[in-house]
Amino acid sequence: MTSMHLIAATTVQTSVGYVLLFLVAVAVVVYGLANFRSGKSEVGSEVVLAPNRKPYYNDQDMETKRLDRMLTMAFVTLAAISVILPLYWLNEPSRQANALRGYNAKFIDSGKAMFGNNDAVANPEGLGCALCHGANGAGGVALKYTLTDADGRFLRQVDWQAPALNTVSLRYNRAQIRYVLVYGRPFSPMPAWGVLGGGSLDDQQIENLVSYLESIQISPQAAHAEVVKGLALEKAAAIKAGHPYKSDGEALFNLGYYSDFAGGAYSCGRCHTQGWSYGDKTNDGSGAFGPNLSAVTQQFPGAVLGVNQQIDFVCQGSEQGKQYGVHGQGSGRMPAFCQKPAYNPDTDPAASQPDVPKTDQGDPGSGMMTREQVRQIVAYERGLG
């Protein structure tokens, strides 16, 4: 790192600047030497040649040739300035945009280094997110996580699925992702990384990680295709395990349970079913990080209205402080499944970051799943009671 990178990073302008600086420095030295030498040869003649005793130009010379020359020089300088300044001004917006882009690229690089595995030589910044979440955040598993009982006594070790993160911006906005990174998921292998959560990363490092995650997102269309692929894998794996699903809604609710597909990133069970993430699930929707869903028809009552409101809620996810259903209040931890959550400038000052695609936020179809897939899941959920 360092000097080599810095040299490579200098722009054409700075190189030209350094050349000019060098030429000026050489000229100053040459002028000084010449002056010094001519001064030497005049030793003894100061009385005649002292500047204040030298006869100056006569009026004739001063007011004709010399004045003209000075005025011409002033005019040329002024003309140069009046051309160069507007040119500079014209170039300024793109210069600023490029600078922002450059900074963002650096942030992403730094986040990428932190995401990777630690290596004293090749990647000293590495925090090993990839160890659990897979290379490029494609999903993985946290091996040998120790489960304890309420008193902190050892129960057993389990392998806990770690969700794919290459779709995390489709289900959470920046502020919500930042929250997970700062506080972790304390009941799970996911550590707290931010200082507020007891970790060691400062705000900028957390931002850099989020920027890196944003940079590896797949498109909603690619995610939809993944779901179709994952559904086929999951149904086959369930049959093989001797527990075939009765509906696509049930299989989607559990997407990844038997197949480990995408570390369970597209599933509901990983949050709503106790034991789901380590292959030891209890009844679907029995409640874990997310609430028990067996009485969900009381939260969203009505065979038509309630169903639609529940589909909307699952599509849009929860927003901090916002009401949902009859007596629900969102915390921003329930992900959005078929609509990429919009930025909230109040809670998210980073919303003005460059290169963050904003166009598709909140649009139907901009999330991980289609509304039809969510409808099937909701139908399954409402039968859980």
Residues interacting with ligand HEC, by CB under 6 A?
127-129, 131-133, 142, 160, 162-163, 165, 168, 171, 177, 180-181, 185, 188-190, 193, 209, 268, 270-272, 277, 289-291, 293, 296, 299, 310, 314, 318, 325, 328, 330-331, 333-335, 337, 377, 381
CB of 269 to ligand HEC, least distance (A): 8
CB of 155 to ligand HEC, least distance (A): 17
CB of 132 to ligand HEC, least distance (A): 3
Residues in a beta bridge with 140: 162
Q: Is the dihedral of CA 256, 182, 109, 12 positive or negative?
A: positive
As a whole number of angstroms, the distance between CA 18 and CA 37 comes to 29
CB of 375 to ligand HEC, least distance (A): 10
As a whole number of angstroms, the distance between CA 179 and CA 332 comes to 9
User: Residue 214 belongs to what H/E stretch?
Assistant: helix 203-215
Nearer to ligand HEC (CB atom), residue 158 or residue 238 = 158
CB of 239 to ligand HEC, least distance (A): 22
Are the C-beta atoms of residues 310 and 303 closer than 8 Å to each other? no
Phi-psi domain of 128 (left: phi exceeds 0; alpha: psi -120 through 50; beta: other): left
As a whole number of angstroms, the distance between CA 259 and CA 250 comes to 14
Nearer to ligand HEC (CB atom), residue 98 or residue 206 = 206
Nearer to ligand HEC (CB atom), residue 272 or residue 340 = 272
Are the C-beta atoms of residues 188 and 179 closer than 8 Å to each other? no
Nearer to ligand HEC (CB atom), residue 104 or residue 207 = 207
CB of 203 to ligand HEC, least distance (A): 14
Q: What distances in angstroms separate CA 49 from CA 35, 45, 82, 374, one per listed residue?
A: 14, 6, 41, 97
CA nearest neighbour of 11 among 102, 90, 135, 97: 102
Nearer to ligand HEC (CB atom), residue 145 or residue 238 = 145
Nearer to ligand HEC (CB atom), residue 100 or residue 281 = 281
Q: Where are the beta strands (DSSP E) in the chain?
A: 140-148, 154-162, 323-324, 328-329
Residues 6 or more apart whose CB falls under 8 angstroms from that of 252 comprise: 227, 231, 266, 267, 268, 369, 373, 376, 377, 380
CB of 332 to ligand HEC, least distance (A): 6
Nearer to ligand HEC (CB atom), residue 250 or residue 353 = 250
CB of 139 to ligand HEC, least distance (A): 10
As a whole number of angstroms, the distance between CA 111 and CA 119 comes to 15
Nearer to ligand HEC (CB atom), residue 237 or residue 379 = 379
As a whole number of angstroms, the distance between CA 333 and CA 351 comes to 19
Backbone angles phi, psi at 26, to 5 degrees: -60, -45
Backbone angles phi, psi at 112, to 5 degrees: -65, -40
Coil, strand or helix: which one is 324?
A: strand
CB of 274 to ligand HEC, least distance (A): 11
Nearer to ligand HEC (CB atom), residue 209 or residue 231 = 209
CB of 152 to ligand HEC, least distance (A): 18
